[in-house]
Chain A
Amino acid sequence: MSENEGALSVPDGSLQPGQVLQNRYRILGIIGIGGMGAVYQARDMHFQNVHKLTAVKEMINMAQDQQLREQTIANFEREAEILATLNHPAIPQVYDYFSFGDRAYLVMEYIQGKDLEAILNSTDNFLPVEQIRQWGIEICDVLSYLHNHEPSPIVFRDMKPSNVMVDHHRRVRLIDFGIAKTFQLGQPGTMIGTEGYSPPEQYKGIASPAADLYALGATMHHLLTRRDPRLEPPFSFDQRPIQQYNPDVNDALVAVVNRSLSYDPKDRYGSAEAMKQSLEATITAVAPAAPHQQQPAPAPPPSNMPAPAAPPPAAASVSAPPQPVPAVQYESMQPIWSFKVEDAVRSTPLVYNGVVYVGSYDNNLWALDAQEGGLVWKFATEGGIGSSPVYGGGSIFIGSSDYRLYAVNVRDGKRRWTFKTDGKVFTTPALELGLIFFGSDDGKLYALKPGQTSAREMWHFTTMDPIRSSPAVDKESESIYFGSDAGDFLCVDLSGEMRWRFQTRRSIISTPLVHEGMVYFGSNDWYVYALDAQQGYSVWRQRTRGPVVSSPVYYKGRVYFGSADQSVYAVDALSGREVWKFDTGSQVTSSPAVGHDSIYIGAVDGGLYCLHADTGDVMWRFQSRGPILSSPQIADNVVYVGSDDQHVYALPI
């Protein structure tokens, strides 16, 4: 004894081979080292003529406080005695226990084999699902034995792959009961890595049979996915769906593991026996009982959309208010009215004083009654109109591909003046500070001073390339922002002097958005950019998978836009982080309109989508018979939009 004690007096010193404990257990070597002490292989010297091996588990009492030390030893002895009375093939036999000084020892059956963690680490491949299921069933069996222990259930408390051995008979054995935890103290200093397998309630000191079932679920999740929960945020199994890593696992087995991993113990299996039965049932099961986990099927491709048999009625018809519906069956929407023009409508409607103004590729600027959809007047230009109308000082201003900007009397649709450029005018004019700003395919950004019968050119800013991005004017900083076909994004001051230029990699068609010191725009280089409005350096950029022609809009801290990658995006305005993304199934070059916590946007599939601004869920969808490249406009609870099907539509919100 004395020589042993001498050896033990070295702090953190482990026993040396040859040392004998209790005049009986001769240490042969170390099997493993845990947080509480080492596990040794030892020979039981009572059996002189045979080589009887034992495992000796050493636990070091690190408690400083005398009362706590005694408590720790008392707990250890009580648990050792309970363990010694257990009788189950998966539980190693306990032969003896003793303690002296600051150390306690448990002498157990020596098991030859490998633990599950070592088995998992011995290959780079997935372990056979069938094997994992079988281990799960066997573990449930022994947990059931422990949990039904009389007079009170025994909780294993530390289920994890390294505590489950597979012996040389290929049978599962539990090797490390929570007894070691008796010796665990809070450690000073920051530590990295969590236990990974324990349920949330165990960190409040609650160790119930349900905790063992969670830890078994965590163990199986680890074995099935090969994703070590100790390296992940705690309790985040639901963020790592099993089949995403290992498609070989069937739905039924996934459902069992997921149920055992419920945060709330009440949502797990009521007993290890119940979990065992469910695991056994998964062998033959075909369909799982977990419909809530299935993703809805994607929306049908637009080609499947049946076209309406007849054009929508022009008469007003009020439909039911929109309701949130599941993603697949979008609520369809009937228009209040529609108006047939003579070619595609890509212009964004303007609603002013009860009249809707919109341009068409039929060369006309149309003025329609906002309530009924009747014709008020139309004004013919000499080229298709892709520009959108704006109102100012009694006039409607609009550009045309006949190279001109027009000012049309709002009351009677008569021309007030025209201004000719050297290229088609696709941009929408911006009216600010008494001036009109617009770009032309001739590569110039014009500043005009409008009068009643004529307009005077104040200045123009020349780029080398067509300008199809409409200018945005920031009154506060007196800056004008626009893009060019060369991919330049420009900031010029009110006298036409360039402040700065930011180069993207492809042409810019998107109209900039200026908000709180930032300017946002899309580029055909697939990015949306957020730049400092003053100095032009980039704050963030967000890459989509297609050109961004759509113009961003701001709403409640987020920026919304569409991409030719078929998606509508909501991103955080300050960081560019994606909040949600909605896949329409076809290109989105229309720009969103926002109102009533909803986003309205058209798509090339002919749909006008109403999406929930917070979630991106589809509230309703309106199907036109041609691509919608026009951007919707909201006024008085009505959405107005044009379509390539040669119609202007008014839809109830």
Chain B
Amino acid sequence: MDLFRRLFQKSNEDNQDKPDTDERLVKTTELPDLPEAIPPESPQTRPLTPPETFRNPSRQIHYGIASDIGRERTNNQDGALTIVTNPEMLGNPPSIALFIVADGMGGHHDGERASAVTVQTIAKQVFNEIILPQMEGPELNADQKTIPEVLSDSFEAANRAVQIAVPDGGTTATCVVVRGNLAYVAHVGDSRAYLIADGNMELITRDHSLVRRLQELGQLTAEEAAVHPQRNVLYRAIGQGDSLEVDAATRRLPPSSLLLLCSDGLWGVLGDDRMAEILMDATDPQDACDQMVREANEQGGPDNITVLLVQMPD
């Protein structure tokens, strides 16, 4: 795949299209000065060198996906899924895509079952109520549910499904539907979605975690939160009660912007700065996902690692 052009010469090692996964490749390329990460309570943007190397000559959505058990766990409780349609036909319908990352929790395989049930439930509903009608030429009337409405309904359905199928399990879910240049986000838990555009990497979801609340109240700094013994405690998850409050947001996706969805096994280990560096250097979404997983494992891989990277058309 030679879809990505590099603007800077790299060493031969860096230019390998598929680095050997067993070989621990840590890039030591000198990077431009990166400003300090700003604490999450302030607007979560910070300047980056624009991802110019991430160029895509096509008008299609590209993505990479990787999920790994990590080095310490005995099973992978994460779940992820992509559905991407890139239609080229009469009527010029927009690309439409679904991306989900879910991080399950619970013993006795309950975690992976909860995340799988959630991914299945959301995917089925979004496919039937958004993607399929869109491909068939949507009916334009007030009887059609909007994407945020379908997403909200599908999260509620997942919540019920997990309570029935996996009563002792729970899961996070971070879900993005892309249609045209809009990203519709629905989110519960502490998996994350980032938008990388115009030289900024911005966290567009809010962790439903104890330490995040403490940060919002000014009781903990980002550094304290990163090492807090209770940093894994969530206050909201799918499968944990009859009523579920779902965070929803809609964002405009600039041309060639990136969307990153990941479980805490990635962001909690690598940190935003390193993730941003990898994205800057990457030449292909799949390579970037593989490299992030590899580096999280090199850092000890304490948790399951799931990453999904979406690249918008030019």
Contact = CB atoms under 8 A, between A and B. Distances in A.
* A and B assemble together: yes
Given A192-B234, A234-B210, A541 B182 contact: no
A536 B140 contact: yes
A231 B303 CA distance: 25
A204 B224 contact: yes
Contact of A517 (B181, B214, B235, B240): B181
A231 B235 CA distance: 7
Contact-size category for A: 35 or more
Nearest to A202: B219
A531 B252 CA distance: 14
Interface string B55-88: 0000000000000000010000000000000000
B264 interface: yes
A505 B251 CA distance: 28
B105 A192 contact: yes
Given A200-B219, A203-B210, A233-B235, A504 B142 contact: yes
B142 A233 contact: no
B232 A235 contact: no
Interface string B231-251: 011111100110000001111
A535 B141 CA distance: 12
Query: A interface, by DSSP: helix, strand, loop or mixed?
Result: loop
A233 B228 CA distance: 18
A540 B105 contact: no
Nearest to B248: A575
Nearest to A523: B142
A191 B210 CA distance: 10
A234 B213 contact: yes
A397 B52 CA distance: 50
Contact of A577 (B141, B241, B248): B248
Interface residues of B, number: 49
A376 interface: no
Contacts, number: 124
A574 B250 contact: yes
Nearest to B133: A537
B35 interface: no
B146 interface: yes
Interface string B194-223: 000000000000001011011001011000
Interface string A614-641: 0000000000000000000000000000
A244 B94 CA distance: 46
Interface in A304-337: none
Contacts of A232: 235
B40 interface: no
A11 interface: no
Contacts of B234: 190-193
User: Which 4 residue pairs across A and B have the least CB separation, nearest first?
Assistant: A186-B229, A503-B141, A575-B250, A574-B250
Interface of B: 72, 93-94, 103, 105, 134, 138, 140-142, 144, 146-148, 170, 172, 179-182, 190, 208, 210-211, 213-214, 217, 219-220, 224, 228-230, 232-237, 240-241, 248-252, 264, 302-303
12 contacts: A190-B105, A190-B232, A193-B233, A200-B217, A203-B220, A204-B220, A233-B235, A500-B140, A517-B180, A535-B93, A535-B94, A540-B250
Given A191-B232, A503-B142, 20 more contacts: A187-B232, A188-B302, A190-B103, A190-B234, A191-B105, A192-B170, A192-B237, A200-B214, A203-B211, A203-B214, A203-B220, A232-B235, A233-B236, A505-B142, A523-B142, A525-B142, A532-B94, A539-B146, A575-B148, A576-B250
